[in-house]
Every structure is written in C-alpha cells, then in structure tokens.
Amino acid sequence: MKESIVSIQNLNLKYQQKLVLTDLNWTINRGENYVLFGESGGGKTSLAKIIAGLQNGIGEVKINFDTNSHLPAEVLFVESWYQFKNLEGVANFYYQQRYTSQQAKDTLTVHAELVNYGIEKSLNLDKVEPILEALNFSSFASSQLIELSSGENKKLQLVKALWLKPQLLIIDQPYTGLDAASRKNLTILLNDVSQDGVQLILICNDSELPISINRFAEIKDGQFIQLDSLTQSSSTENHSGEIPSFLKESPVYSSENIVRMVNVNISYGEKQVLKNINWEVKAGEKWLLQGHNGSGKSTLLSLINGDHPQSYANELYLFGNRRGSGESIWDIKQHIGLISPEFHWYFDATSTVWQSIASGFYDTVGLFQQLPYSKSQQVDELVEYFGLMSSKNELLGSLPLGKQRLVLLARTIIKNPELLILDEPCQGLDQQQTQHFNHLVDELCSNGMTLIYVGHFESQLPNCLEKRILLESGEVKVVENLNIEA
C-alpha cells in the first residue's frame, strides 16, 4: 500500500457565503509531485494555504511527515507575491517610497534577511550561495527589501524555500515575474530538490514545468479533478463582449512626443541603475520593454510615471514638456494609465471593486468624490465588460488575486489615457483571462493609444506590439522593430 504525505477528506471552504471548496478529497502519496491548474478564483491558493496550516477549512487534513527523512518536517508555502515589513514590523508602505527610501534605510537588506532566516531555520549560509548565483541574485545582497521589484522579491522567497528544502514545498505561480533565464534555472533547481526528497505542489497554468512533475490536477467547481496530462484541463473559454464605446475613441494627444530621454542616469550612492539612456516614444507607438530582473525596467517606468525624484536631475521630456518645468506629478499622471505588480501591492484593498475602478479617473488609490452620471455609466460598462458585476460592491482585498488584477486593469483604462503602461499586467490571471485582456489591449491600441508593455512570457504578449527596447544592466542593449505574429 502506498504511503501518503497528505490526506484530505471532505474538505469544505465557504467565503462570503459562497462555497469555494465542496467535499474535496485528495491524497498525495510519497514521490508524487503535482501541478495544480484551475481558473482564477477557483480555490487553488486557499487549498494550498489550508494544507500549509495558514488557513482553516471544514474537513480532515492530515500531513504525514517522514520521520526518517533528513529534510525538515515542514510544509512551506511560497505565495505568488510577498508583503515584507520594515524594521519596526510594519508593512504599510506607499508606492513612491520605493524610490525615496534609499536614504531612510528602513527595511532589512537582502543579506540581513537571509542571515536571519538561516539562524531561524539552522541553515548553513554557504549553501545559499549556489542558489543565489543560479537565480542571478547575488548582486542584490546590499539592496533593501523595499528597493526590490516584484520579480526580485519573488526570487528572494524562492531562494529561501530552495535553501530550506522542506518535505513539502508548495509554490503559487512559481514562474510569475521571472525572466527567461531565471525560469530555466528555477526549473533545474526544482528538479534538484525533488531528487533530494522534497515533494512539490506547483500552482500554475504554465507549460514550462520541471520533469519531476508527475501528477496533474485541477480545481473545478470546488472539486479536485485528477488529470492525465498537462493539456487535459477542462477550463472553459472566456468570450469577450464588445469593447465599451467610450474606449473606441482615439485619445486626445497633447503632444506628438510622449517620452524623450537624453542621456538619463540614475544612481543610488555608488550603484548605477540606469546608464546613459536615450529613448523616444512617439504618439501611437506600441513598445515592448524587456530585460532580466534587475535590469532597470521598473526604474525606467518610474521616471515616465513621475514617481522618481531623480527625474528632475535628468533631461527628460514627458508629453512635450521637460520634467521640472512647472508641471506636478498629478499633471503627468492625467495622461497615463498604469498597472504594475508594485502598484498592486500598495493599492488600497479596502475600496470596493466599483470604487477602485472609478478612482482611475482621478489617479488616486481610492474614490474620494462623487462621480458625475456619465462617468458612473462608464465604470458600469467596464465592470460588465470584465465580468465583475457580481463582485462590484465587494472589497478589493476580499477577491482572489486574479480578479483583483482585472479590477486594476479596468482602473488603468477607464480614462482612455494617451499612454498605457502595462508592467507584467497578466500576473495572477489564468490563460483565458490573459487572452481576454490582451484582446482588449489590441482593440484599444487599434484606436491609436500609445503603449509600453513589459512582459517576460512571449506567449502572453498582445499582437499590437511594434517596437522593442531591451535593457541589460541598466543600459539600452537593443532597439528594434517587431513583427509578432498572432
């Protein structure tokens, strides 16, 4: 008889009067490494948290650790994103603080975080070095946690998990936010720890999987369904309705030149993040911005969005005006619709879905004024277009991560901006939601909108992209025209 490590019987989970998991049964035997599929909001993450003891459900969940194993008798859950705390144990940072905190030193460095973790878990610090090198993370030792991008923060959590090597390792969206080289090396590292006895549960819809994955399943209608292969998932297609009429109008451009950078340099002390950047974005152009984690993409976008204080010390033109010529940060933001993983981190989760979308008219992180009737109608149209009608009065923070992202995507486009900045916009979305959103991006851009799109996954890019800029170690490595096929 096979020996199980996890045994789940008749597990139920209700969330806001809605059954998420219904009499779910699942047995994981020793040597079985699972990938868990399912639509966003289907209960995958909640199930993982219950197995890890981080959330309660009604039913029986037994973990049977191997008492003879040399690995720690732990279940470790790595979230799809991670909220760090400052030195006083507080996590209420604001978005722009990431670019102004270098003087404050109010969060731990990466090295200090790893030292503390090693002491807590009785780990040998020397053994983390090969993991850091494999994920190209060694150079971040002196970086504060608040300075890290979402992809870099994800790497830090993966480094800690692979260093610990628990008996059961559950990772939610393991490849999200990672560049191609890091994804490849992560796959190798996961295979290595699996061979050492770590059992894996990966929650993702990706086709890039470790060869050690030998079981496939999905959560559908609250039930666990065993699959025979990667391609057997029974998720239903998400058919897009017609784009709202107010988004079919071409944006009104204040200038033919949207962005112009002349020899832009950004440094923190002796660390140079951007080096002699020259880049021009004209009205109606659709750009793909790429580069490894830590290449400077987020810093570059923070200059365009008005969030970086060093923009005044550089020759930077936004919407025809030189930065520092009298315009405020809010004057700049009026022209821009932005979504990024970092912005999602810091957004007010206590606003309702409807309020969150409506706040995009005013570039605030909550709605603080009454909307005129015409704008209220536009919010309603987008709520319906994104399939959020049943959730429109719910708090943003109460929704699954994928639905939260859809809400913020709707917020991004509500004012039909001149410039759309989409930084990894499909993080947390399932395949159907990704297709749905990129179809919308293509439609918007066919009406003349300017686009800067950051994406690591070639299979998750919209078709409208025309040009590509590639950063490497803070420098422009490639500028080229694209011909991305459908």
Confidence tier at 232 by pLDDT (50, 70, 90):
low
Contact 238, 249 (CB under 8 A): no
Residue pLDDT, tens place only, 68-90: 999 999 999 998 866 555 544 44
- Give me the pLDDT at residue 409, please: 87
pLDDT at residue 105, as a whole number: 58
pLDDT tens digit sequence for 366-395: 777 788 999 999 999 999 988 899 899 999
Distance CA 439, CA 191 (A): 35
CA angle 126, 130, 131 (to 5 degrees): 105
Q: How confident is the model at residue 115 (pLDDT cuts 50, 70, 90)?
A: very high
Q: Please identify which residue in the block is written with the tokens 């699942």.
A: 26
Reported as a pLDDT band with limits 50, 70 and 90, residue 402 is confident
Q: How confident is the model at residue 92 (pLDDT cuts 50, 70, 90)?
A: very low
Pairing state of beta strands 475-481 and 467-472?
antiparallel
Would you state the pLDDT for residue 90? 47
CATH 3.40.50.300 intervals, the chain: 4-87+154-232, 245-481
- Output the pLDDT for position 82: 60
Predicted confidence at residue 485, as pLDDT, reads 43
Is residue 411 helix, strand or coil?
Answer: helix
Instruction: With a cut of 70, say whether residue 237 has pLDDT above it.
Output: no
The C-alpha atoms of residue 224 and residue 59 are separated, in whole angstroms, by 14
CB 226 within 8 A of CB 235: no
Q: Which residues, 6 or more positions from 465, have their beta carbon under 8 angstroms from its beta carbon?
A: 286, 287, 288, 451, 453, 482, 484
Are the CB atoms for 200 and 213 separated by under 8 Å?
A: yes
CB 345 within 8 A of CB 312: no
Looking at the predicted structure, is the pLDDT value of residue 211 above 80? yes
Nearest CA among 355, 25, 424 for reference residue 222: 25
| Contact of 274 with 474, CB cutoff 8 Å | yes
Confidence grade of residue 101 (pLDDT, cut at 50, 70, 90):
very low
2-11, 177-186, 277-286: range with lowest mean pLDDT: 177-186
- Which residue type, as a one-letter code, is found at position 322? R
**Mean pLDDT, rounded, for 292-303:** 88
CA dist 352 and 375 (Å) reads: 17
| Beta-sheet pairing, 419-423 with 450-454 | parallel
* Three-state DSSP class for residue 100: helix
Within 8 A by CB and 6+ apart from 283, the residues are: 253, 255, 256, 257, 258, 418, 448, 450
Residues ≥6 apart with Cβ < 8 Å to 282? 256, 257, 258, 450
* Whether the predicted pLDDT of 276 surpasses 80: yes
What does the pLDDT read at residue 378? Answer: 95
Going through 173-250 in order, the beta strands assigned E by DSSP cover 199-203, 215-220, 223-227
354 pLDDT higher than 70: yes
The average pLDDT across 92-107 equals 49
Q: Please compute the mean of the pLDDT values over residues 116-140 and round it to a whole number.
A: 94
The distance of Cα 360 from the centroid of its chain, to the nearest Å, equals: 19
Nearest to 273 by CA among 247, 291, 296: 296
| Residue matched to tokens 């025309």 | 466
Q: What is the CATH number of domain 245-481?
A: 3.40.50.300
Give CA 55 to chain center in angstroms: 22
Q: What's the CATH code, domain 4-87+154-232?
A: 3.40.50.300
Q: Does the structure show a pLDDT above 80 at 429?
A: no
Indicate whether 486 pLDDT > 60. Answer: no
Average pLDDT over residues 139-154: 83
pTM higher than 0.85: no
Q: How confident is the model at residue 397 (pLDDT cuts 50, 70, 90)?
A: confident
Rounded Cα gap, residues 220 and 181, in angstroms: 32
